[in-house]
Amino acid sequence: MEALAASSFAECRLVSGVPAISGSTSSSNVVSSLAFSRNAVVAGKARGLFVTRSLASRQPKRLPLNCCAADGNAVATESATAESAADEVPIEKRYPAFPSVLDINAIRNILPHRFPFLLVDRVIEYNPGVSAVAIKNVTINDNFFPGHFPDRPIMPGVLMVEAMAQVGGIVMLQPDVGGSKETFFFAGVDKVRFRKPVIAGDTLVMRMNLIKLQKRFGIAKMEGKAYVGGVVVCEGEFLMALGSEE
């Protein structure tokens, strides 16, 4: 009986970590010690499990590497498909034509100019009395290229200014504005700058905006910019005279 108690007490010391009590120990004390040890072990396991779960809950969630790789492959595949689709479209079909708000016949009904001095081919945006955007297709067949210059065809700057003034005329030659073909004149320019040469084969895109209109004096002030390929090639301020028929 004493040997059994001693071995049980030794097991209690090993499991619970509590030092053995020296001296004689009764069986009831041994049973109490064993119960205490078992409770301590259960509590320790519970605390360890709680700590483990707490640490696990704090760890950031990570996506599987194969998932990220799959997403990357999908993006790369879509990009490659888009590029191949663009390559399959012939170059002559990739660039849409300019819209035609006013064609050459409508322009001839507004402007009094005729060959060889009608320098507006198409109006692509039109807000009567406010603004207009028009284009001039510059070709080697234009009658000014043989003399300007024979070895290097460049559109004369004064003709770029004239073309922009004609776009301004399209803006202003409206009944509600008060302009008419017989009494509308190009009165002056200011702050004109030529940024880049315009050569045969270019498409001159011109925007004219009304800044100020003085109907009492018959003066309209406008600002204009001309572009080739989205780059400004000419800009300036324009004065238009709205004379009376008297």
Q: Is 215 part of any domain?
A: yes
- 8 A C-beta contact, residue 137 and residue 203: yes
Q: Is 69 part of any domain?
A: no
- Specify the pLDDT at position 216: 83
Residue with tokens 């770029």: 160
In the chain, where does DSSP find H-type helix? 2-16, 27-58, 65-88, 104-110, 157-172
Q: Is 131 part of any domain?
A: yes
Supply the range of the domain harboring residue 131: 94-242
Q: Which of 55, 15, 54, 7 is nearest to 35 (CA)?
A: 15
Q: What is the CATH number of the domain that holds 203?
A: 3.10.129.10
- Specify the pLDDT at position 5: 44
- pLDDT tens digit at each of 246 positions of the chain: 444 444 444 444 444 444 444 444 444 444 444 444 455 444 444 455 444 454 445 555 555 545 555 555 666 666 666 666 667 889 888 888 999 999 999 999 999 999 999 999 999 999 988 999 999 999 999 999 999 999 999 999 999 999 999 999 999 887 666 566 667 788 999 999 999 999 999 999 999 999 998 888 888 999 999 999 999 999 999 999 876 655
pTM of the model: 0.64
Angle between helices 2-16 and 27-58 (to 10 degrees): 20
- Specify the pLDDT at position 42: 45
Helix H, strand E, coil C: the string for 24-64 is CCCHHHHHHHHHHHHHHHHHHHHHHHHHHHHHHHHCCCCCC
- Specify the pLDDT at position 102: 95
Residues annotated catalytic, as ranges: 148
Q: Is 113 part of any domain?
A: yes
Beta bridge partners of 12: none
Q: Is 66 part of any domain?
A: no
Q: Is 20 part of any domain?
A: no
* Number of domains composing the chain: 1
Q: Is 23 part of any domain?
A: no
Q: Is 182 part of any domain?
A: yes
Give the pair of three-digit tokens for residue 121: 């081919």
